[in-house]
Amino acid sequence: MKRIVTIGILVFLGNVLIAQTPKAYITNYGSNYVSVIDIQKNQKIADVITGSKPHGVAVSPDGNWIAVSNEGENTISIISASDNKVKQTIPVGKTPHQLSFSMDGKYVLAAINGEHNMDVISTTDWKLVNSIPVGRNPHIVLPMPDGKTVWVTSEGDNKNHPSLVSWVSKNRH
């Protein structure tokens, strides 16, 4: 059963990634760049300097933007998918890990491992708009289709019990 679920998740994620962009963005944690791979030609087309220890990557729902967490600099880089150039670098909390765009693409949600928070960045102006407490050492954020909640996994005391965070009421003015 576990194998079937894992395969199903991989197929789902693969379909989502292909639908968003024909490129893969691969972090190179021991350095300061992300490699861009053309998945149709199966070849590297660029290296994009982002920041020290790039950790997580997320593609916006429309495929136009790539967000990269830079664990060594406590920043998130925003890359334009059209030219593979960094357009913004946003300071966030200590030790950003995985991140995701909200389902509507209006926010970037980042697990801030060193501060036990989920940082929320507006894609309108690429500014940090909120930092929401979650379980210890958050690692992965997964927005739900309802657009109101996010599952956040924790490497700390909630390791085996992810937190379900209602974030909409805390961010929308």
Q: What is the pLDDT of residues 61-101, one digit of tens each?
A: 999 999 999 999 999 999 999 999 999 999 999 999 999 99
Q: Is the pLDDT of residue 5 over 60?
A: no
Question: Which SS3 state, helix, strand or coil, does residue 12 take?
Answer: helix
CA–CA gap between residue 121 and residue 112 (Å, rounded): 12
Q: How far is CA 43 from CA 24, 38, 70, 147, in A?
A: 10, 5, 24, 35
Each residue's pLDDT tens digit, 130-141? 999 998 899 999
Each residue's pLDDT tens digit, 14-25? 434 444 668 999
CA–CA gap between residue 7 and residue 169 (Å, rounded): 34
Residue 137, CB half-sphere, CA atoms under 13 Å: how many? 7
State the Rg of the chain over Cα. Answer: 15
Question: Which SS3 state, helix, strand or coil, does residue 98 take?
Answer: strand
Q: Was domain 55-171 assigned CATH 2.130.10.10?
A: yes
CA–CA gap between residue 34 and residue 39 (Å, rounded): 15
Each residue's pLDDT tens digit, 23-57? 999 999 999 999 999 999 999 999 999 999 999 99
Each residue's pLDDT tens digit, 112-157? 999 999 999 999 999 999 999 998 899 999 999 888 889 998 888 6
pTM of the model: 0.82
Domain ranges of the chain: 55-171
